[in-house]
């Protein structure tokens, strides 16, 4: 998936460079439109600027405490590439904080300018929503308005702007500049608009401008959000009013109303560090092209100034003080030092099992995240197929013709600290549609409601396959299910263990999932089997099978096939195996059809695996 996303990102970069003009920001244009319908906003702007100007000549005081803003991303999508991942959104937050905090070793920390400063503002994904419910700080909403988005799309998902920094992610943004064919990257709303335009307060950017990975538009290095966040905290463009916008004697009331940012004749592109577009300032200084509030390339930007910080501090004290207040941060799950508050242990305690014997998931704690277009098929409760009980959860993957559709279902949060050796097990059935089918199931584990996840395991198509390849929709027989197990010991401290199963569709057939269990393993052998990530496939087998396992260190292994009574009928291998991932082909041509045991003897104990030969 990452390779494909990177490919599309490169294509988009080429489109930007060759065929379309880029308009980095339309904040000013949108603000002028606002004044047409609500001219009183100008009075509030004037009042705020008067207060800020009174402090502009004040020497920057000694560094104080860092202020933290809770962030929520509203991803408006049509199940396309614009439905960007949590990982990409986390990367957007990373870049935002590196820039605002002038973090050493990052682009924000590379500036050699004496005017480059730590703004002492940081951004944190919200841990609780406005209703006090746990969240990963991301809302995903399907709406065709993700194309040519306007402020109208903000009404689809909005959290109280006096408590949260709202960031809307869309596919494309409506072009109101009159420049035909140009691409708008983003826009923001100024702090002094919060009381008159509360429900649209925040930032809206294209999905390819969030972060610098996956779909992130590499040419801007994720700094479209830094620029727009600068507007959100009260900063203008340095080219505001052009060369005539500010004079040496009245810099606090003209231009961008910041005295240590020289006037700029027009917006910057590229990174022309010797540019001096205005000569009327005293002393005559070159343009500050690396300032985050100009339009230089993202890799060029690395400056916020002391004057900008003074302005922002004043604006924040007037308009956004509640957002970073101790009371608000505490309610949203953020400590005053910026760390996340410890979450209350989940109500559900391990051992825990769920058989999907329900008509629907609401009320069970389980959720589904299907990222699909009309005509595609995602995960759903299936009351006609089950290994045990009356139902399972399945994805009718045979209907999906688009590649890399990612659909997921998610467990409730489970406190697994109650088990000394927690183990996940489940049953699954799957078949290929074509010989080139490349589906895979990814298992993610989180202790923070999905805000951050660990990719714990990838089950490739070779391990998934339990039925025969067929272009017809696959429905499993009882013998076409396979049990999987996974050691959760690395996560045994998790009081809110949430497991997300993500199917990545690549021309495969239907998949079925049943009998989710988190419990203690039943034997020493089972523990060893899980720790080695032992997999035997296909099962049933015919003429040959494959086993894969992982050695943490080199060890002597004795492998054999026995009948159901335990009598060895075929000795396979007795030898040292090196550390790392291992894969062996097991010849079975001479063994008649029936039920058998694959036996593995290790220095720590033994285990068996039942299998059928057709």
Classify residue 286: in a domain, yes or no. Answer: no
Q: Which two tokens stand for residue 426?
A: 């489940």
Q: Are residues 229 and 322 in the same domain?
A: yes
Q: Are 116 and 213 found together in one domain?
A: yes
**Sheet strands (E) in 388-481:** 392-395, 405-410, 414-415, 423-432, 440-446, 454-460
Whether residue 18 is predicted with pLDDT greater than 90 in this model: the reply is: no
Query: Residue 42 maps to which CATH number?
Result: 3.40.390.10
More confident residue, 159 or 21: 159
381 falls within a domain: yes
pLDDT of residue 115 exceeding 60, the answer is yes
Least reliable range by pLDDT among 105-109, 150-154, 437-441, 463-467 = 105-109
Number of neighbouring beta carbons within 10 Å of residue 51:
13
N-to-C CA span, the chain: 36
Q: Give the CA distances from residue 16 to residues 92, 167, 312, 396, 550, in Å, rounded to whole numbers and listed in that order.
A: 20, 23, 32, 38, 45
* pLDDT of amino acid 182: 87
Give the pLDDT confidence score for residue 493 in this predicted structure. 96
- Which of 100-114, 363-377, 579-593 is modeled with the greatest confidence? 579-593
Return the CATH number at 534.
Answer: 2.60.40.1930
> What pLDDT, on the 0 to 100 scale, is given for residue 9?
47
363 lies in the same domain as 411: yes
Integer-rounded Cα radius of gyration of the chain: 29
- The C-alpha torsion from 86 through 88 and 92 to 95, rounded to 10°, is 130
Q: Is 212 left (phi over 0), alpha (psi -120 to 50) or beta?
A: alpha
Contact between residue 349 and residue 340 where contact means Cβ atoms under 8 Å apart: no
State residue 249's pLDDT score.
64
Tokens 């406005």 belong to 130
322 and 265 in contact (C-beta within 8 Å)? Answer: no
**SS3 of 200, please?**
helix
pLDDT tier for residue 308 given thresholds of 50, 70 and 90: very high
SS3 content of the chain, % helix, strand, coil (to 5): 25, 30, 50
The answer to the question of residue 85 being in a domain is yes
In the chain, how long is the greatest CA-to-CA distance? 97
Whether residues 562 and 510 share a domain: the answer is no
The reply to whether 287 falls in a domain is no
Give me the number of domains the chain comprises.
3
pLDDT at 137: 95
CA distance 12 to 491: 39
Q: What is the CATH number of the domain that holds 381?
A: 2.60.120.200
Inside any domain, residue 575: yes
pLDDT digits (tens, 9 = 90+) for 246-282: 665 678 778 899 989 999 999 999 999 999 999 888 8
Q: Mean per-residue pLDDT for 107-131?
A: 92
In this structure, the chain runs to a length of 614
The pLDDT tens digits of the residues spanning 29-85 come to 999 999 999 999 999 999 999 988 877 655 555 456 899 999 999 999 988 889 998
Are 301 and 102 within 8 A, CB to CB?
Answer: no
181-185, 394-398, 493-497: which is most confident: 493-497
How far is residue 16's CA from residue 398's CA, in Å, rounded to a whole number?
36
pLDDT of residue 1: 40
Main-chain dihedrals φ then ψ at residue 339, nearest 5 degrees: -75, 160
pLDDT digits (tens, 9 = 90+) for 528-557: 888 888 999 999 998 999 999 999 889 999
Q: Which pLDDT belongs to residue 219?
A: 59
pLDDT of residue 386: 94
Question: If you average pLDDT over residues 127-150, what whole number do you get?
Answer: 94
Domain housing 46: 2-56+69-237+299-330
Find out whether the peptide bond into 538 is cis, omega within 30 degrees of 0.
yes
Of 472, 491, 521, which one is at a domain's C-terminal end? Answer: 521
Q: Would the pLDDT of 186 be above 60?
A: yes
Same domain, 464 and 358: yes
pLDDT classification of 522: cutoffs 50, 70, 90:
confident
Q: How far is CA 578 from CA 550, 553, 560, 582, in A?
A: 10, 7, 19, 8
**Is 37 among the domain residues?**
yes
Average pLDDT over residues 105-134: 92
Alpha carbon distance 3, 9 (integer Å): 10
What Cα–Cα distance (Å) separates residue 319 from each residue in 196, 210, 253, 324, 369?
Answer: 12, 26, 20, 11, 36
On whether both 357 and 492 belong to a single domain, the answer is yes
Do 124 and 14 have their domain in common?
A: yes
Model confidence, pTM = 0.80
Average pLDDT value over all residues in the chain? 90
Q: Which of 453, 487, 521 is the last residue of a domain?
A: 521
Instruction: Give the model confidence (pLDDT) of 173-182 as tens digits.
Output: 999 887 777 8
Return the pLDDT at 379: 93
3-state secondary structure of 466: coil
The better pLDDT of the pair 178, 144 is held by: 144
Residue 16 has pLDDT above 60, yes or no: no
The residue among 468, 487, 521 that closes a domain is 521
The per-residue pLDDT for 557 is 95
Q: Do residue 508 and residue 548 come from a single domain? A: no
Alpha helix (H) residue ranges in 157-201: none
Q: Quick one: what percent of the chain has pLDDT higher than 90? A: 71
Are residues 533 and 462 part of one domain?
no
By annotation, the residues acting in catalysis are 228
- 373 & 472 share domain: yes
Contact 92, 211 (CB under 8 A): yes
Query: If you average pLDDT over residues 378-385, what whole number do you get?
Result: 94
The two tokens of residue 412 are: 């409730």
Q: Is residue 438 part of a domain?
A: yes
7-37 exposure pattern, b = at least 16 Cβ within 10 A, e = fewer: eebeebeeebeeeeebbbbbbebbbeebeee
Same-domain pairing of 201 and 170: yes
Is 554 part of any domain?
A: yes
Predicted confidence at residue 2, as pLDDT, reads 43
Mean pLDDT of 288-295: 96
Q: Are residues 416 and 404 in the same domain?
A: yes
């Amino acid at each position: 998936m990452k390779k494909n996303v990177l490919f599309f990102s490169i294509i988009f970069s080429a489109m930007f460079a060759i065929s379309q003009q880029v308009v980095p920001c339309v904040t000013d244009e949108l603000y002028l439109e606002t004044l047409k319908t609500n001219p009183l906003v100008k009075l509030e702007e004037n009042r705020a600027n008067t207060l800020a100007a009174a402090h502009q000549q004040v020497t920057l005081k000694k560094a104080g405490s860092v202020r933290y803003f809770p962030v929520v991303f509203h991803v408006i999508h049509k199940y396309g590439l614009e439905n960007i991942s949590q990982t990409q959104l986390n990367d957007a937050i990373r870049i935002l904080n590196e820039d605002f905090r002038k973090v050493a070793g990052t682009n924000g920390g590379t500036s050699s300018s004496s005017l480059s400063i730590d703004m002492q503002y940081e951004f944190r994904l919200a841990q609780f929503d406005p209703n006090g419910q746990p969240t990963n700080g991301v809302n995903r909403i399907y709406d065709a308005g993700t194309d040519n988005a306007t402020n109208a799309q903000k009404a689809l998902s909005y959290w109280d702007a006096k408590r949260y920094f709202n960031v809307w992610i869309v596919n494309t943004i409506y072009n109101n500049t009159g420049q035909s064919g140009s691409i708008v990257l983003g826009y923001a709303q100024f702090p002094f608009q919060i009381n008159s335009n509360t429900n649209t307060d925040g930032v809206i950017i294209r999905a390819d401008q969030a972060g610098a990975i996956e779909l992130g538009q590499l040419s801007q290095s994720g700094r479209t959000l830094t620029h727009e966040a600068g507007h959100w905290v009260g900063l203008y463009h340095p080219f505001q009013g052009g060369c005539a916008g500010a004079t040496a004697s009245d810099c606090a009331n003209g231009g961008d109303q910041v005295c240590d940012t020289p006037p700029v004749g027009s917006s910057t592109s590229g990174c022309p560090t010797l540019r001096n577009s205005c000569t009327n300032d005293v002393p005559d200084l070159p343009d500050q092209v690396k300032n985050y509030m100009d339009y230089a390339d993202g890799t060029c930007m690395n400056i916020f100034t002391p004057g900008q910080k003074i302005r922002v501090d004043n604006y924040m004290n007037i308009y956004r003080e509640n957002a970073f207040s101790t009371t608000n941060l505490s309610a949203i799950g953020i400590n005053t030092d910026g760390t996340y508050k410890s979450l209350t242990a989940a109500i559900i305690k391990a051992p825990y099992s769920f058989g999907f014997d329900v008509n629907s998931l609401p009320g069970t704690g389980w959720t589904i995240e299907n990222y699909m277009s009309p005509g595609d098929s995602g995960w759903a409760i299936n009351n006609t197929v089950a290994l045990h009980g009356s139902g399972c959860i399945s994805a009718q993957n045979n209907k999906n013709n688009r590649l890399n559709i990612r659909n997921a279902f998610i467990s409730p949060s489970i406190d697994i600290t109650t088990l000394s050796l927690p183990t996940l097990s489940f049953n699954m059935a799957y078949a290929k549609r074509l010989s080139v089918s490349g589906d895979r199931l990814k298992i993610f584990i989180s202790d923070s409601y999905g805000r951050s996840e660990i990719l714990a395991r990838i089950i490739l198509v070779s391990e998934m396959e339990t039925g025969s390849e067929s272009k017809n929709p696959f429905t499993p027989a009882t013998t076409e299910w396979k049990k999987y197990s996974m050691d959760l010991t690395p996560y045994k401290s998790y009081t809110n263990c949430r497991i997300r199963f993500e199917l990545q569709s690549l021309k495969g057939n239907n998949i079925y999932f049943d009998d989710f269990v988190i419990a203690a393993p039943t034997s020493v052998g089972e523990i060893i089997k899980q720790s080695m990530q032992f997999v035997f496939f296909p099962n049933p087998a015919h003429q040959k099978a494959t086993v894969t396992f992982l050695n943490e260190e080199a060890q002597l292994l004795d492998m054999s096939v026995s009948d159901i009574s335990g009598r060895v009928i075929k000795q396979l291998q007795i030898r040292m195996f090196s550390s790392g991932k291992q894969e062996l082909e097991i010849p079975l041509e001479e063994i008649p059809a029936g039920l058998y045991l694959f036996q593995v003897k290790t220095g720590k104990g033994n285990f068996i695996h039942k299998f059928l030969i057709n």
